[in-house]
Amino acid sequence: ESISYSEKYFDDVYEYRHVILPRDLVPMLQKDKLMTEMEWRMLGVQQSPGWVHYVIHRPEPHVLLFRRPLNYQQQVAQHQMARQQMAQQQHHQQQHLLHH
């Protein structure tokens, strides 16, 4: 048995997916505790950053429910661009100070 991943589904705020673990991993799950990204990655779950284990599906503890903001990827890209622009501005300011 291997880990299986649902297609993504959406509402107005989040994108969602569920991940089905092999039943033999269930004993490794802490009952009534949401997992951090590090914890679910240690179980072998592989997905892009930003996904949050947000609810425990009690009838089937081997089904992990995840969500992340709809515009998560866009927010990350905008943040990276802003950081690059700031770094370039700082570099130009330093160069200006060095030459004057």
Containing H/E element for 29? none
Q: Which residues have a Cβ under 8 Å from the Cβ of 46 and sit 6 or more positions away?
A: 3
Give, for all 100 residues of the chain, the pLDDT tens digit: 799 999 999 999 999 999 999 989 988 898 889 999 999 999 999 999 899 999 998 899 899 999 999 887 777 667 777 788 887 887 777 777 777 6
Collect contacts of 72-75 with beta carbons under 8 A, ≥24 apart: 72/15, 73/48
Report field, pTM of the whole predicted structure over 0.75? no
- Nearest CA-CA partner of 35 in 6, 18, 55: 55
